[in-house]
Structure 1
Amino acid sequence: MRSLRSVKKSKKYKKLIVFAQILAIWYASILSLSLVTSDTVAYFNDSKKTSFSIQSGTWWDGSKLTFVKHNTENIKSCEPHSITAQIKNEGFDMMDGTEYEVVYWPTDNRNPQHKGDVIYEGAIDPIGKNEIVTLQFEAEKEGSYKFKAYQRPGFNDNYDTREEIWSHKIMMNCKGKQEKEANSDVVEEVEESKEEAEIIEKEENVEAPIIEEEEINRKEEKEESAKNSKEEATDKSVNEEEKEVMETSSDDSLEEIVNSQSEKEGEDE
């Protein structure tokens, strides 16, 4: 009897154990399935976000480009001239480069709506935070020029269009230079004339004392000559008087001699 009871109890416990195992397996299966499903969803979501954020060139790096100078620049030149514009990154470091263009308007343009002609396209290397680089172009014609640069793709989370920034206006004028050169030539001529006048004045100032001295010498010579002439005239007058006296004396002497001879002859007779 005891053996039969023990056998029945053992069978009963075995059924409970099997049922408990089945129940545990079922719970474990449900738990595992729920965990696997949630992890898979999270995995795919994370994978989608990661693949979106690391694609090169499709997300904004936080850079912000701006041109440094804004006032119009006037260049007086008839020859090819190098024009420049400085651009600064006021945002974070650029992860990649960007593009820029040079836009030109001719001098005879009268259409204010004319957007200009793109005459050059170039590339800008990545610029670090607060760094400044200089864009350069060799301008060969009269007219107006501007540099146009593009912000990095996705600037301010705008992935549909590229934002543009413009430099200051650079005006190249040959006529202005010609007028300036003409004015400079006139100024040079005036200065040369002024210098010549100063030189002449200096020479006159130097020659004036010489001329005055020559006039004084001439005057003294005239006075001396007049004095000599007067003295010569006086001497001549004296000589003539002396000559007359001598002639008169000689005549008297001769008359006396003749008279004395006549008297002598009379006595002899």
Structure 2
Amino acid sequence: MKKVNKVSASLITASLLAIPFIQSADTALADNMKHQQVQKGNHITNTHKEMKSPFTINESAWDRSSLVFSEENINSDGIFSIVKNGEDSQAMQGEVIYEVFWAEKGNPKEGEIVDTGVIEELMPGETQVLTYTPEQLKSGNYMFKAYQRPNHPGKGELWSESITVKETTDSNESIIPERPLDQFFNSNVTEGTATFTVPDGMDPVEMSFTSYVYPDGVVPGEDGKPYEGQTAYDNITKVYEPGTHTINVDLPENGYFQTDLYLGAEIENLTEDGHPIEKIIDADYGFNN
């Protein structure tokens, strides 16, 4: 019986001694599998990192458009400026904004923003009119500022020329000529030359300057009479803006003549009273031989 027990004890002892070797083998196998999985995972991750989407778009690239200002001015509604995408440029791939700067005096760039707007996508050579039309356009200096498309190689912005708006009056009253008209128009008529001034603020006025010949055998008096029977020899009729003007008419080569400056259209033949008193401005008469 003791011998049997000894054998059993030996078997148990051998089994116990084998357990660490089994655990070591299992642990090594597990570590090896884990290492392979990590390497496989790293390979998959690296593969994803190297892949690039075929739909990736570089949105920061310049679209090769280039804006310029070509004209600016004042109209009946306000001010405007024309912006153009260059002839050699590419089509704009998006909109950009513009701003309107104003300064009462000096450089508008140092003034304030009074309006903003949008410049649409322009094709090469295409233009757009930028406007500023407030209810009341203040006097002062204005400039339009526009922005180029992103990543333009220049400064990224551009300025129009300065637009100067002068103060206007709200008065609708027009200046009406007052007698004596030669003083009102500060006129002078000497033979075939007339000089006169249309006052500032007066509406354009129609005037005529005519040289007349007397009937054969008539000798005029000191006041140029008689008027009756005088006929037009040369004439100029025109509408004159405010300012000083000098005009000339031809005179007859021989005989008596009279030259009259007056308001309105030409009067070819004079009556006994000559020109209406409310129209005649200035006159002269003489003799050529």
TM-score, scaled relative to structure 1: 0.45
Structure that is richer in helix per residue: 1
Name which structure has the greater RCO, CA cutoff 8 Å, separation 6+. 1
TM-score, scaled relative to structure 2: 0.42
Structure that is richer in strand per residue: 2
